[in-house]
Copies of this chain bind each other. A is one copy, B any other.
Amino acid sequence: MNIKITRLFASILGIGLALPGLAADWQALPDKVPAPADNPPSAAKIELGKTLYFDPRLSEHGTLSCNSCHNLMAAGDDNRPNSIGMHDAHGGRSAPTVWNAAFYSVQFWDGRAATLEDQAKGPMVNPVEMGMGTLDVAIGRLQQIPGYQTQFAAAFPGESKPVTADNVAKAIAAFERTLITPNSPYDRYVKGDKAALSEQQVRGMDSFAALGCTACHSGANFSGPTLPVGTGFFMKFPTFPGSAFDAKYELVKDDGRFAVTKQEADRHLFRVPTLRNIALTAPYFHTGTVPTLDLAVRVMAKTQLDKELSDAQAADLVAFLNALSGEFPQIAMPRLPATPNMSVIPPVDPHQKKPTAG
């Protein structure tokens, strides 16, 4: 059944995909994420990345940090349909969680970045996100902050001018590779603790496989097979268009990966998202239009598997998905390095587009 559906998807997509493992191939989350050869982690680099992740000076008005929309005190997103950036701009897609993002082989809903390093540079200059205009503007600010000179030097020893956009991205990515949530009830269950899941959760787990969810949501991260970095695991959403959900939840407005490649075969293709901590990241999908997990599993069954769930099936699936909420590491707040006697945030009132201070 899984194999059949997976082949159907591959056929619809018209592309060759590495097929996910058998439904029964349940995997626990690894304890570590491998780092790329050109960005080995160090304590100094991870601490720098954490500091940058929380630093709102990387946004035009000094009001938004990475954490504003990918909140590490919560489930790594903002529990909103879409995020709100500079000048009250609303993003076009719902913010995906940063937790376990390190396990993806591509980044963003449309896979337009191959690596966490590439991804990290995007929001800083996106006008509807942090709105810095150019990376040079961002780096110009950081270079005025004495504490960052020290921190970058420690994180990138031997570099004569370490405060660069590439190093900002490397530090943030190194920090993000620590943002994983192991030891969910599901992980404990598949490692042998049969008491970790309730009976209903086990029923939901069985349904999850039997219905065919594992055709896409496979592997340790429930985001598909382990592919080489840069090789995305994408799926068409909706695969079965035409249901009432399309209009109700605005499912076909967004061209998905087509906007990146301009290939017709990529229209409405999206990266298969992780289901880890999915119970904590409502509202759902790239649209952020589906308010509850109960509705989300029904939408998925209908649009991706052409199936109607019974209330009991939906409840079982929701119960199982709640077992994917993992352990969030305790994080000590960084201290943002200061700029004594001045601020690097320009005193511009965006309503007036002129400086308010001389």
Contact = CB atoms under 8 A, between A and B. Distances in A.
Contact of A345 (B80, B325, B336, B340): B80
Contact of A343 (B80, B335, B349): B80
Interface string A75-103: 10011110110011010000000000000
A354 to B, nearest CB: 12
Contacts of A57: 79
Contacts of A21: none
Contacts of A249: 357-358
Interface residues of A, number: 61
A347 interface: yes
B248 A358 contact: yes
Interface in A313-358: 318, 322, 325, 328, 330-336, 338-345, 347, 349-351, 356-358
Interface of A: 54, 56-57, 61-63, 68, 71-75, 78-81, 83-84, 87-88, 90, 248-250, 279-280, 282-283, 288-294, 318, 322, 325, 328, 330-336, 338-345, 347, 349-351, 356-358
A342 B71 contact: no
A250 B332 CA distance: 40
Contacts of A283: 343, 347, 357
A282 B54 contact: no
Given A62-B79, A72-B333, 18 more contacts: A61-B84, A62-B78, A63-B78, A71-B336, A80-B343, A81-B347, A249-B357, A250-B356, A279-B338, A282-B341, A282-B342, A289-B356, A291-B343, A322-B341, A325-B338, A330-B332, A331-B332, A331-B333
B84 A63 contact: yes
Contacts of A72: 333
19 contacts: A57-B79, A61-B80, A62-B78, A63-B80, A68-B68, A73-B334, A74-B336, A79-B344, A88-B351, A250-B356, A282-B341, A282-B343, A283-B357, A289-B347, A291-B347, A292-B341, A325-B340, A332-B332, A333-B333
